[in-house]
Amino acid sequence: MEANQTLDARGLNCPLPILRAKKALNGMPAGDTLKVVSTDPGSVKDMEAFCAQTGNTLLASQLAGSNFEFLIRKS
């Protein structure tokens, strides 16, 4: 699935990947998707919790090389 927007959060530690994802999603219309790329291992649980709390949908979460990639659909 193609993302409407990509957020490069590599090199950032908690809570910055979540804060930047929140900011990006706020500027997107409902139904659009955001791909987040992070190097912080803590972002796996953080993204799951963030989506559960905000009502957004975590469509995919995967390890790609040394990066964690997330695909989020804005609700």
Q: Coil, strand or helix: which one is 48?
A: helix
The first and second tokens of residue 31, run together, are 């139904």
pLDDT above 90: residue 1: no
How confident is the model over 10-68, as pLDDT tens digits? 999 999 999 999 999 999 999 999 999 999 999 999 999 999 999 999 999 999 999 99
Residue 54's CATH number: 3.30.110.40
Domain containing 66 equals: 5-73
Distance in angstroms (rounded) separating the CA atoms of residues 18 and 11: 13
The number of residues in the chain equals 75
Identify whether the C-beta of residue 74 lies closer than 8 Å to the C-beta of residue 51: no
- Which entry of 5, 12, 14, 16 is annotated as an active-site residue? 14
Counted domains in the chain: 1
Residue 14 annotated in active site: yes
Q: What is the pLDDT of residue 39?
A: 97
